[in-house]
Amino acid sequence: MIEVKGLWHIYEGGKEALRGIDFDMGNEIVALVGPNGSGKTTLAKHLNGLLKPTKGEVIVDGLNTKEHSVAELSRIVGYVFQNPEHMFFAESVFGEVAFGPRNLGLSGEEVEERVRWALEKVNLEGYENRTPYSLSGGEKQRLAIACVLSMKPKYLVLDEPTTGLDEKSAESVRDIIRSLHREGHGILLITHEMDLVLELARRVVLLHGGKKIFDGPVDEFFSLELRDYGLDRPELLRISFSIGTGFVRTVEEFVGRLAR
């Protein structure tokens, strides 16, 4: 359980990025949305202690982030940054994925086992000896997820995991997210892509100007006046709402409704 209580964050220079956020999540898929500069990343960086609260507190599985280092918290909350290349430095995919577990001080055998497991999870078996920078965009994103996954965190923060990927690569990333959720991981999805929200999330948290505007089920979220927050409904919902078939999550569901 991640608990955020009355969280304020004021950056050096006085910018109030978060103004009193209350939020908690378990092993569910939560979409964190909001316009640029609304505080999404600032909030997410509090969950693994990269940022410490100015006021209020963040408790991760009973650990107060103020009292624990990022390295300790990284065993519980994994954070996959938006640009995968910003973390690649090893000569091989294997070395890259092994970096996290090695930092945790695990034995060689354990590290190797975790690397194999993580690479299998993201369908990158057989890539061990490739250079991270030689991979395609989608593969890089999956490798980034594997790098964090190998630390076996219970929660994962994914920052724009499908942005800039072609449909096939995006679909494989979505599959990975779904399977991780099935296995009991809690996933916080930071995104601007409303299609992704519709397809994956059960719950949506909307931030605006450092405040939480909305926190609830995805169908309720899409009935909000989203244009006020610089967002919009996915095409599928706009069609579905305008012909009166109501909230649907997928095209299949929509066609099913129409057929009835």
Rule CB under 8 A: which residues touch other proteins? 45, 48, 50, 69-71, 74-75, 78-79, 81, 85-89, 99-100, 103-104, 133, 147-148, 151
Question: Are 82 and 40 a contacting pair, CB within 8 Å?
Answer: no
* Contact residues for 145 (Cβ-Cβ < 8 A; gap 6+): 80, 121, 122, 156, 158, 161, 173, 176
CB closer to other proteins, 23 vs 79: 79
Nearest distance, CB of residue 194 and other proteins, angstroms: 26
C-beta closer to other proteins: residue 88 or 247:
88
> Smallest distance, Å, CB 155 to other proteins?
12
| Complex with other proteins: residue 90 or 224, whichever CB lies closer | 90
Q: In the complex, what is the shortest distance from the CB of residue 78 to other proteins, in angstroms, rounded to a whole number?
A: 7
Return the DSSP state at 14: S
Is 145:67 a contact under the CB 8 Å cutoff? no
Least separation in angstroms between CB 239 and other proteins: 38
The rounded distance, in Å, linking the Cα atoms of 110 and 29 is 29
Report the residue number, 53 or 240, with the smaller CB distance to other proteins. Answer: 53
Sheet holding 55-60, edge to edge: 16-25, 2-10, 55-60, 63-64
Structure tokens at 201: 């999330």
The answer to whether 55 and 5 are in contact (CB under 8 A) is: no
Nearer Cβ to other proteins (39/100): 100
Smallest distance from other proteins to CB 114, Å: 12
Is residue 65 within 8 A of residue 223, CB to CB? The reply is: no
